[in-house]
Amino acid sequence: MTVENGYVQADIDPNINLVEEINRLKREKNAVIMAHYYQKGEIQDIADFIGDSLALAQKAVKVDADIILLAGVHFMGETVKVLNMDKKVLVPDLNAGCSLADSCKAEDLQAFINQHPDHTVISYVNTTAKVKALTDIVVTSSNALKVVNSFPADQKIIFGPDRNLGSYINAETGRNMLLWNGACHVHERFSLEQILALKKANPGAEIICHPECKRPIVLASDYVGSTAALLSYIDKSSADTFIVATEEGILHQMKQSFPNKTFIPAPPETETGMCGCNNCEYMKLNTLEKVYLTLKYELPEITLDSELAKQAKRPIDAMLELSK
Ligand code: 13P
Ligand code: SF4
């Protein structure tokens, strides 16, 4: 066995049942699997807990286990580790990054803060621990409006790194936050033209999108919300068809939770049946095989300097306190 290129490389006996083996390892090692909604369906199905970024962070402070395997992307593993420095936090593939988190380097943010010393710093959870350490309070797409509204209307605020989420918050709260110029490459790809064409072909369908989408898509949508909020909205809505503008992994839960409703990913699948446009390739680096090997060898592990973890925990705790 070796850990090469960020994940465990070892032979897997072709005769084993991966799901059974993963469940056995979880019991033996007192481990839990937490998964984000953008994971492959087969990973969501073996998870002990599935959630959006806020729910994963909220769950992370309550987990009673020796090992947490976070099936998601690196910043999510880091957030879980920050909240669980006494536990082993594993991720199936260290290469599972995030284009948004990558768009904001701590040194660059520090320089920006230095130019605006009288501003409060609010960061999206899709950031590294180093960026969180420079932050006053973290938000997720679930609680961003509530957190921003908790500050006085005239408070000067730097918001990063997602300019689309930032524009959405500015529009909804009437603020004028200074926005970092970052974006998620998956959510930026959606084409308004294709979404409107789908709507024309399905006039009864509702358009629902994640606030990481560009402004014209947000404006064309019937509902805007985090992955968890989209699921709750579908439950409440009387519509039976939805055009979904977010990463396609969420469709697994949508179909499972609402088998009588129809979900159309935006943009539509291609003629070959391959939907390559709305996939987060980082999220999809995780596979059942890697989850199995990670649990078996307890590698790769997220490790963090304790002082950095302490600094990064402060704004996450502030967010969790406001989100109770
Ligand atoms: P939420 O889970 O908060 O909706 O965020 C989506 C996302 O982009 C995770 O990377
Ligand atoms: Fe990051 Fe976008 Fe992937 Fe979410 S979907 S993990 S924001 S790159």
What tens digit of pLDDT does each residue of 262-303 get?
A: 999 987 444 444 445 689 999 999 999 999 999 999 999 999
Atom of ligand 2 nearest to the CA of 99: 8
Percent of the chain at pLDDT above 90? Answer: 94
CA torsion sign for 190, 172, 319, 49 is: negative
Q: Give the span between the Cα atoms of 255 and 264, in whole angstroms.
A: 11
Residues 222-248 pLDDT 10s: 999 999 999 999 999 999 999 999 999
- Give CA–CA dist 12/241, Å, rounded: 41
Could you give the C-alpha distances from 87 to 208, 253, 254, in angstroms and in order?
37, 29, 32
From ligand 2's centre to the CA of 187, what distance in Å?
8
Q: CA torsion angle for 191, 193, 197, 200 (degrees, to 10)?
A: 120
Which residue has its alpha carbon closest to ligand 1 atom 10?
126
Strand partners, 4: 7
Give the pLDDT of residue 267.
76
Please determine, for residue 150, whether its predicted confidence score (pLDDT) is greater than 60. Answer: yes
Chain mean pLDDT for the chain: 95
Q: What is the mean pLDDT of residues 310-314?
A: 98
Q: Are strands 137-139 and 120-124 parallel, antiparallel or unpaired?
A: parallel
**Given this model, what pLDDT does residue 278 score?**
86
Ligand 1 site-directed mutation target among 212, 248, 254, most atoms within 8 Å of CB: 212
Count of all residues that appear for the chain in the document: 324
CA distance 246 to 189: 10
pLDDT at 140 over 50: yes
Which whole number is the average pLDDT over 112-120? 98
Three-class DSSP category at 289: helix
Q: Indicate if ligand 1 lies below 6 Å from the C-beta of 126.
A: yes
- List beta partners, residue 34: 49, 70
pTM attached to this predicted model: 0.95
State if residue 128 touches ligand 1 by the CB under 6 angstroms criterion: no
Question: CA 35 to CA 26: how far, in whole Å?
Answer: 14
**Which ligand sits nearest to residue 250's alpha carbon?**
1
What does the pLDDT average to over 30-50? Answer: 98
Half-sphere exposure of 79 (CA within 13 A, CB side): 34
Provide mean pLDDT across the span 199-220. 97
Sheet strands side by side (includes 31-36):
49-51, 31-36, 67-71, 88-90
If you take atom 3 of ligand 2, which residue's CA is the nearest one?
280
Closest CA to ligand 2's atom 8: 98
Q: What is the mean pLDDT of residues 205-221?
A: 97
Ligand nearest to the CA of 53: 1
- For ligand 2, atom 2: residue with the closest CA: 184
